[in-house]
Amino acid sequence: MPSVNIRCRENGPLVVEGEVTLTDHQGNRFVIDASKRALALCRCGISNNKPFCDGEHRCGDFQAAELAPSKS
């Protein structure tokens, strides 16, 4: 069982659940509030707080509802 789960929110961010570090393209770490059990990463591209989701996806017409293959 993985210690990190990344959950795709319908028409919203990628929610990362588990203990992770997040670095920028220069290798510097973003500060993550250790009290939070999950963080939401923007995948719509319009957040004013990238790479984090700030809820702006609700204002646009971003749509993403990919489904994983069923287990049958």
Question: Rounded to the nearest whole angstrom, what is the least distance from the CB of residue 29 to ligand FES in the complex?
Answer: 21
Minimum Å gap between C-beta 12 and ligand FES is: 5
Which pairs from 31-36 meet CB under 8 Å and 24+ separation? none
The b/e string for 34-59 (b: 16+ C-beta within 10 A; e otherwise) is eeeeebbebbbeebeeeeebeeebee
Where does this chain touch ligand FES (CB under 6 A) — which range of 20-28, 29-37, 50-58?
50-58
57, 63, 68, 69: which one binds ligand FES (CB under 6 A): 57
Q: Which residues bind ligand FES (CB under 6 A)?
A: 12-13, 42-44, 46-47, 53-57
